[in-house]
Amino acid sequence: MSMDAYSPAAYRFANTPYRRVGRSGLKLSPISLGLWQNFGENRDPLTLRTIVRRAFDLGITHFDLANNYGPPPGSAETHIGRILDQDFSNHRDELVISTKAGYEMWDGPYGDGGSRKYLLSSLDQSLERLDLDYVDIFYHHREDPETPLEETMGALDQAVRSGKALYVGISNYSPEKTREAARILADMGTPLLIHQPSYSMFNRHIENGLLKTAEELGIGLAAFSPLQQGLLTNRYMSGVPQSSRAGSSSPSLSEKQARDPEYQKRVRGLSDIAHERGQSLAQMALAWALRHPQVSTALVGTSSVHQLEQNIQTLHKLDFTDEELRRIDEFAIDGTAR
């Protein structure tokens, strides 16, 4: 893979309104590069490298991974590790690299869940793939009812104490389990930094307790799937492109969802509001997810530099009037296209 030597843009931090994560000292770019489903072996390495370079030039400092991201599992970390080595060896301290463990990663009884053995082994494997000494944030990816929460949080505490992670977080936890996890970690002397839930106009579950929990605990939220796997873009308003996730039998998005009449009605209504705001639907959807002060960042996947640049334009118009929010609520219905 041949590319010219990379020199980051001198203006890269100038125009980004970095957000503090809860009551911590850490700040994140409001839009972060999420590498789920789009940084695997099925992608051109040159394209991936170009996207990461451009993201950093645009002020994106946070790259979000997990052990099982790909496909195949592990390949996203391997790709990013190679890119970091090639282009960012002198800029590691300007980046926030996060990864997670919690879903099935290898065969046998120790390759899944929330046990101490699985989490700390997975972190070691992630660091090897990333070719890093530490990650900035290490998450437990989902609740594990078969493992005592004290054991899982103890593993996260050990990740920090060993120097292999600077901060720890959780993902896909209920408000109740979030409070319990935060209490256990606080007793150990390692604060819970951040929670990563799904959140979008069509998936509003965090409004039923998690937003309040995050505010009270002083933790940040990193919203994943803010565009609902592409359903909150104009992509599916005129049919289902074969190159899209819905047109390529993606396990997370079906053609049936994209053709649902209620979805079509709602997405067109939202698109009209976005047009009046001078934004694309995707830009408005990102701004909407970021409207809560508890949301420190929105994780966005991208398949091209152009798509990335369009998403970053969101930052030029983040405010909403009360009337706009009222109109959006008529169409932003939780559970749409599920």
Q: What is the pLDDT of residue 249?
A: 47
What are the backbone dihedrals phi and psi of residue 168, each rounded to the nearest 5 degrees, phi first?
A: -130, 155
d(CA 297, CA 294) in angstroms, rounded, equals 9
Q: What is the pLDDT of residue 247?
A: 45
Average pLDDT of adjacent 10-residue blocks, the chain of 338 residues:
87 96 98 95 96 98 98 97 97 98 97 98 98 98 98 98 99 98 98 98 98 98 96 79 50 70 95 98 98 98 96 97 98 93
CA–CA gap between residue 231 and residue 229 (Å, rounded) = 6
Contacts within 8 Å (CB) and 24+ apart, 257-264:
257/231, 257/337, 257/338, 258/231, 258/337, 260/336, 260/337, 262/333, 262/336, 262/337, 263/231, 263/236, 263/336, 263/337, 264/237
| Whole-angstrom distance, CA of residue 240 vs CA of residue 228 | 15
Q: What is the pLDDT of residue 337?
A: 83
Phi-psi region of 228 (alpha: psi -120 to 50; beta: other; left: phi over 0): left
Residues in CB range of 207: below 8 A, 6 or more apart: none
Structural domains of the chain in order of their starting residue, each with its CATH number: 19-234+286-320 (3.20.20.100)
**206-to-163, 169, 173, 189, 319 alpha-carbon distances in Å:** 31, 16, 10, 27, 20
**pLDDT score of 125:** 98
